[in-house]
Structure formats: structure tokens, C-alpha cells
Structure 1
Amino acid sequence: MLFPLALACHAGQKVGLACLLCYSHITQSKAVQTGSLVPEEMSSQVRLRLLPRARCLFDEPVQVKVAGLRSRQVVTLRAGSTDEKGVLFRSSATYRADETGAIDLDRDPSLSGSYVGVEPMGLLWSMKADTLHKRFQKTNSLNPHVVKFSVHEEESEGRILAEATNERCLTRQGVSRLPVKEGNIRGVLFTPPGEGPFPAVLDVCTFMCEKRASLLANRGFVVLAVAVYNEEPDNVKNIHLDYFEEAVGFLLRQTKVGSKGVGVVSRSKGGDIALSIAAFLPGVEAAVWINGCNGNLAVPLYYKNCQILSPILFDHSKVIPTDSGASIVKYGAKNPLAEENKASLVPIERAKGHFLFAAGEEDLQWDSKAYMGQMVDRLKRHGKENFESLSYPRAGHLLEPPYGPYCLSSFHGVVDIPVLWGGEPRSHAAAEVHLWKKIQEFLRTHLSCDATRSKAKL
């Protein structure tokens, strides 16, 4: 068992050892203040439990159960969390207890609130900020995502009946985190516990974020997270593939790595970089492309001091403003298949490894589904079968590891305005759960490990 059993409980309950441990953890934890979630008095009968434990990994589901209510009592369940920028995100849903006074979110539907229907993890993915255009910031893997759950009466001004704290860790016990400053590389290396051998993955983030890399390390991959933009995008006049080649070499030298090549995981601008890594560099066995472009976006791409891909430019006149203050930029990138952009298309048919393409059909950042279709057609024309493609109806751009708050709109660091990301929250959350499992299966399938390779490096 990775974490000690901890059942959330309320003040005044007669508890066993497991609950006492949890109550001590809750009261001593540096949990965030969530406004109304500080009770003056709580019922001595109602119990709120998070199963199988109150401390888990970020990408693990929890079962939320309430007991001790009156038969058929209507209550409101709330969740709240503060991100790294100090922004408070909240959700709420109204439930009716069964005849025994129990509520189980795996079974019972929300009647109203942030979502309706049976949604076991709805209180997590439906959390949003009170102000517009805020994205939940969780880029550092050292601190857990702390969520305060609470049960409130419908009457009595929403008096709190019970509460519990869920710590959702990005790094499991034994995973090492090492900031990397070697040669030109600036990134963070995550290594699983144990001797290995482990497959190696390069996580290409548009802007530096440790979440996906640390969660993959929890699942048995050695992962190096690097960013496309290590400085302000306006200051970046070109990108050099040599930087990512250096990162691949660094990964393959790690003593616990047993794969003969690496996998690459990417989204958005990182997507076309990942395609270029797979097409132009040796040693890439698998590449995951999520909601990106099939051509090189924004700035020229160089390799060995020569330009290998020209940029697809952005037409700001095609940005569509909305009443919310956020814009749709989906149609701003010029057509990759236009004659003037042919030199920008990534020659993915050159790749020796396998591809996993994933597109949200309601992506409002890029025309990702169309780009994915163009890549599939290109590979088929070249007689290639080294790809899988996934299309998610009603999912948007920000497909991430599951159970984080869905983001409708936020400030875009490249185009320098608030943008709409697209997607319907429930469908988007379901797509994240499915895609996260597929990514891990894909990488394990195509990154073969050899124990003799890791031993040879010792």
C-alpha cells in the first residue's frame, strides 16, 4: 500500500485508530482556507469518508461517501482548493440521501449545482474560480493538490455537518526529482524507485510544468520534462532541434533506463516539436501528440545550424472575440496544406517509431481534429501503419492528466490574450481519464526495456 489508510471524520465522533490518525492529519495539515469551510459546530452523527484513503495520487479517483444523515435528507456537498497563485477554486452539488441516510457519489446523482447526474469525481473536475479566465495552476510536483470536502445542511444557512481533506500527491514515495542544468538542458528529471530497468520518456511542455512528468514517473517511467519556451515567447526568434537531441541523449545515459530509445509526450506547440523530434532525430520509439499542429508553428526550426522547417504564421485578423472577454484563436493559424506552407509540414513519414494522435473535437485553440486527419492521410499515402488516432467528441484543448479542474478560458502566454480552450466539462473530464490510460499503454507497448542495457551503464 502506497499510503496509510486514513478515513476522514468530524469533531466529536467516537473514532477508532484509523480515524484518529486522519483527524490528526487533517488538523495539522497546511490545508488551504476556503472561506466558508471553517465550521463553528458540526453534527456528531454525520460522517464524510474518502475511500480507499484520504491521501492518494493526483490521477487516482476517490470514492466520496456520506453517512449518518436523516432518511432522504437533502444536503449540499462542496469542494474547495487554492492553487499555486493563491486563486480559490470551488464546486458544489446537491444530493438526497437514501432511506438509510447515506450518499455515495459512485451511485447517487447530483440534483443541482456545478453538475447534475452521477459523477463520482464531479466535485473535482467542476471546480472553478469566482473570477473569469483563471486556470488552476499546478506546475510544481513537490506540493500536493489539497482539496477540502464538506457536507452542508440546506437550511440553517448551510451549517457544516462534516468535512474531510483530500491530499492528491503528484509524486509518490520513492520517486526522485532532480532539477537538470547540464550543457544546454534546463529541465526536471523524475526517476521511479527500484532498480529498473525503466523506459525513458521526454515530456515536451510548451511552458515548464512538472505534473505530467511526475505522474508518469509514478507509473514506472524515467521522465525528463523540458519546455519549448524557457523565456518569453516574444524573445524566441527560432527553435533548435539540437536542444531536444541533447535531452534525448541525457535520458538514454541514465543508469536506470533500459529502453533502447525514448518516448515523447506533448501537447499544443509541444506537439509539432514532438513530431519533428520523431521525424529528424534517431532513437525515438514512440511519440504522443495531443491537440497540436502537423506543421511547424510560429518560428523557424533549426538543426545543425540549418533551417529545416519554415514557420506557419498566425493571422490575428482571424481571432474571434466573444462577450466573455476571451477569444477563439482556432482559425488564426494559416492553412498548413497551403502551397506557401508546404515547407512547414513535418515529414512524419520519416519517423521510425510509432505515433499516438489525440484530438479534442471542440478544441478552440487549434483545428486539432483536422490536423490529425491530415497526418493520418499523409502516413497512409506513404504506406505507413505506425500510428493510432483518438478523437474525443465535446473535448477541448487542455487535455491533461485526469481529475484536475476543467478550464473554460484563461490567459494565453503566446498570443498574449485570454482565450477559450473549448470543450464541455463532463465530456472533457471523461476524455482525460480515457486518454491518460491510453498514453501509458501506448508507451509501455512501444518502449521495450532490456535489463542488460541498464546494467551496462553502471
Structure 2
Amino acid sequence: MVQLTVTPEKSLADSPVWIRACGLTPSQPVTLYSSLIDEKGVKFQARAFYWANEAGEVDVKEASAVGGDYIGVCPMGLFWSLKPEKMFHRLIKRDAIGSPFHVQITLFGSFILMPSTNDTPLATCPIERWFVAPGVERFQIKDGQVRGALFLPPGPGPFPGVIDMFGGGGGLIEFRAGLLASKGFAVLALAYFAYLDLPRTLEEINMEYFEEAAKLLLKHPKVRGPGLGVIGLSKGAEVALAMASFLEQIDVAVCINGTTNVNGTPLRFRDIYIPAVRYYPEKYIISNMGALYGHHIIGDPWDEAHQASAIPLEKAQGQLLFVVGEDDHALNSKLFAELAIARAKKYRKNNCTLLSYPRAGHLIEPPSSPLCFASWIPGILKPTQWGGEMEPHAKAQEHSWKEIQKFLELHLGPAGSSNV
């Protein structure tokens, strides 16, 4: 009898699962197929072709895929190779706490490129991929100017506190905060524009808003001080670096594929004003798929405007971790990280660490997240190209996620833990 098992059937979205089929005919060709429908009704799918071994089994921990969306031994390939049926659509879990992603793993008894109603599966196994562990609580934050969501691990704490931010699309994205809270961090997913009553567009980075958010998080009885961590992606990485440079509450900053200058919108902190480097939209390159390659739109990092807009990271008293994808198509993130480290050394600072990943793109997210090569962001008339190659990008996500948590714990103290 053919059996398909996925262990565990309920897991955190950043955790590995074990997929195994047995009861097959020796050397039988099979297709393993994964699919999910996201919260916007868009279907994602992936497939891989295998030959059963002499015992009539396919174990993805050991078996090598011979074709499909990836080749070789890739235990989590059916997850990180998921692709949307709708072009330029990014897989994002908006409701981090209320429901999981429901993923269907299906086994077919031949090589099938695209399953149809005429293809009868040998076995199916539905699984759940959660973004919070049991006991993690979410609290809506609307306090003073601050808007966001606070995720707290179960137990009395206190837990190391982290502020989590995303980029130029605005709004509130919570899935990374939920996963970090599941590891034992108290995490404030922080919005800074295009959410509730915040400004619809980002006209200025006012550091007093982020200072208020840091003070708010530190006041919570389950948050262990005296300092906080901050993690940001893209524009959020730029803001995270500025927070580490200006705010005494920040002991550690993780900057994922950001710049080291103030870009697009100026920065203000009390009597300090840093002008923004303007964007050069004429330097966009439109790819064959119609997406924008923006590597050069920020201009020359060595010109006078960039020097005037540089974030004074030498003022940071805490530790800085730069995570970069060397195939980032949105901006030259590796160069900016290297310039940041050079600036720190110029001021005799030794508080910067660099994690650089060849062939990884801009959207470096938690493990098993599918590569999004290009997607729409508000305010831009064409989709933005993010870059990356699937397998190297997947490896970068897996490695960097572990290193980020280690870095936060090293400088903020040990986190609690929870498991699904």
C-alpha cells in the first residue's frame, strides 16, 4: 500500500519537515507536488520528479530530485521553490496569528508537469505551517503615535525585546515578528507609514517616532532591558541603522539589504537634519519580464550628496549586523554594507559584522520562504525586480536566520523558546 507521510504535520513555517513515500514499485517514477492558496486567493505550487529506490521508497532527506522545480537532494525544496500562478505576486502571511498556511503535499505515480483532473494521486497529505507557536500572544499597539503589533512568548519572561520593520511598501507585516516571538523574543512589529492613521506616504523619517516606540517596548514588564534589538529589511534596514546611530535604547541592529545613507526622504531627530539622496528613476533598467532593475537608481555612493546623507553609524554604541544578498537587484546592498564597515573602521569602531551571500536576492526572509524574484510595491507603476537564484537564496535564508538569532541573543541575552 502506498503511503505518503509529512512529519510533523503541524510546524512553524521556518522549521523543516520530513517528506517520505513508501509502498511504491522499485524504480517507479513519481512526482511530489506541493500547493497552497494564500490569503488573497492566489495559488502557489511546486513539483519535483524522483525515482523510487529498490525498496520502493522516496525519502527527500536522501533522494535526489531529477527534475521539476529543483534538482538534487533538497529536503525543503517543495517549499522554497513554490511559485505563484499570478505573476509578480509575493507570498506574505498577513494574519500571522489567526491561521496557518495550509499546504497540500501530493504524490503521483509518474512524472507530471502540471496536475489535471485526469491525474489521480497515489496519496495526499495536508499540513499546516504556522507563524506563531502555541501560547504566543499578539497585542494591537495604538499608543501615542506608535502603531504596530506586539508579540509575546508564553511565560513570565522577561524576554529580550526586538523591534521588527519591513520596507518601502509600508503597512504592517507581522510574520517575522511572530516567528521571532516563537523563539523567545518579545517583538514589536512596527509600522511607520501607510497603516491606520499613519501618513499614507513616507515624507520624512522622524526618529522621535522610533524613539517613542523603543521606550514603549522597554516599559513592558515582559521585556528585559536595558537595551533593545532592531531588525529591518530594505528601507527598514536604513531606519534600523539610524535607530542604532541615534537612539540610546538600541543595543543591536540587524540590517538586511539596506543602504547606509538616507534615501528618498530626509531624516530628522530633534535639531539634527540629514538630507536625502534623491532617486534617479531614469537609471531603472526594464527587464524582459517587464520588471524594474533598480541597482543604480541611488546614484554614485561616493559623490558629495551621499556623503552629506550618510547615517552617522560611528555614533552607534551597540553591535551592527549587515545581511546582504550579492544578487540584490533592488540596490547594491553589499557595497553599502562594505562602505558602512569602512566608515566604522575610519572612526576606530569595531562593532560591525557582515554576512554576505552569493546569488541571494533582496528579500532575504525566514527559511523555506519561496524566492520572490519580482513583485509590485505601492506607488511604482511597474513591478520591482528583487533578484536571487532559488537554491542559493534558500540556503542564505536558512543560514542567516540562525545567525540573526544567535547575534540577537549574544548581545541581548538568552531568549525563551517554544515549539509547535
* TM tier relative to shorter chain: over 0.9
Q: Secondary structure at the match of 1:59?
A: coil
Q: Tell me the residue number matched to 2:129.
A: 168
Which shifted more, 345-354 or 197-206? 197-206
Out of 162, 187, 206, the position equivalent to 1:223 is: 187
The 1-side partners of 2:92 and 2:165 are apart by 18
1:307 deviates by 5.0
Going from structure 1 to structure 2, the CA distance change for 1:101 and 1:111 (only over 3 Å counts) comes to same
Q: Deviations over 1:179-221 (max 9, x none)?
A: 1001001100001111112100011222321011010000010
The 1-side partners of 2:19 and 2:391 are apart by 18
Out of 40, 55, 58, the position equivalent to 1:85 is: 40
Going from structure 1 to structure 2, the CA distance change for 1:186 and 1:416 (only over 3 Å counts) comes to farther
Q: Tell me the residue number matched to 1:425.
A: 390
1:239 deviates by 2.1
Is the radius of gyration larger for structure 1 or structure 2?
1
Which shifted more, 347-356 or 404-413? 404-413
1:258 deviates by 1.6
Which shifted more, 320-329 or 404-413? 404-413
Tell me whether 1:312 sits opposite 2:273 in the alignment.
no
How much is the aligned-residue C-alpha RMSD, in angstroms? 1.6
- Counterpart of 2:268 in structure 1: which amino acid? Y
Which shifted more, 325-334 or 130-139? 130-139
Which shifted more, 146-155 or 78-87? 146-155
- Counterpart of 1:49 in structure 2: which amino acid? T
1:414 deviates by 4.7
Going from structure 1 to structure 2, the CA distance change for 1:90 and 1:141 (only over 3 Å counts) comes to same
Q: Any conservation in 2 of the 1:71–1:101 contact (CA below 8 Å)?
A: yes
Q: Tell me the residue number matched to 2:224.
A: 258
Q: Tell me the residue number matched to 1:50.
A: 6
Q: Tell me the residue number matched to 1:403.
A: 368
Q: Any conservation in 1 of the 2:147–2:192 contact (CA below 8 Å)?
A: no
Q: Any conservation in 2 of the 1:336–1:345 contact (CA below 8 Å)?
A: no
Tell me whether 1:440 sits opposite 2:405 in the alignment.
yes
Q: Any conservation in 1 of the 2:29–2:111 contact (CA below 8 Å)?
A: no
Q: Tell me the residue number matched to 2:109.
A: 153
- Counterpart of 2:25 in structure 1: which amino acid? R
Q: Map 1:30-429 onto structure 2 (within 5 A).
A: 45-51=1-7, 53-142=8-97, 143-154=99-110, 158-206=119-167, 207=170, 208-230=172-194, 235-304=201-270, 306-429=271-394
- Counterpart of 1:144 in structure 2: which amino acid? P
Q: Any conservation in 2 of the 1:276–1:346 contact (CA below 8 Å)?
A: yes
- Counterpart of 2:3 in structure 1: which amino acid? R
Q: Any conservation in 2 of the 1:294–1:336 contact (CA below 8 Å)?
A: no
The 2-side partners of 1:155 and 1:262 are apart by 51
Q: Deviations over 1:13-60 (max 9, x none)?
A: xxxxxxxxxxxxxxxxxxxxxxxxxxxxxxxx1111112x10011110
Q: Tell me the residue number matched to 1:42.
A: none
Q: Secondary structure at the match of 2:106?
A: strand
Going from structure 1 to structure 2, the CA distance change for 1:347 and 1:284 (only over 3 Å counts) comes to same
1:272 deviates by 1.1
Whose relative contact order is higher, 1 or 2, with alpha carbons under 8 Å and at least 6 apart? Answer: 2
- Counterpart of 1:276 in structure 2: which amino acid? A
- Counterpart of 2:263 in structure 1: which amino acid? L
Q: Any conservation in 2 of the 1:394–1:427 contact (CA below 8 Å)?
A: yes
Q: Any conservation in 2 of the 1:228–1:270 contact (CA below 8 Å)?
A: no
Q: Deviations over 1:369-404 (max 9, x none)?
A: 100110011111111111211110000000001112
- Counterpart of 1:82 in structure 2: which amino acid? I
Sequence identity (%): 39
The 1-side partners of 2:280 and 2:62 are apart by 48
Extract structure 1 runs of 4+ deviating beyond 6 A: none
Q: Deviations over 1:384-427 (max 9, x none)?
A: 11121111000000000111221111112253420211011000
Q: Deviations over 1:309-360 (max 9, x none)?
A: 1111110110000110111011111233311232210000000000011110
1:116 deviates by 0.8
Going from structure 1 to structure 2, the CA distance change for 1:378 and 1:348 (only over 3 Å counts) comes to same
Q: Any conservation in 1 of the 2:94–2:173 contact (CA below 8 Å)?
A: yes
Going from structure 1 to structure 2, the CA distance change for 1:247 and 1:234 (only over 3 Å counts) comes to closer
Q: Which runs of 5+ in 2 are unaligned?
A: 113-117, 416-420
The 2-side partners of 1:448 and 1:75 are apart by 47
The 2-side partners of 1:155 and 1:333 are apart by 46
**TM-score, with normalisation over the residues of structure 1?**
0.86
The 2-side partners of 1:408 and 1:341 are apart by 28
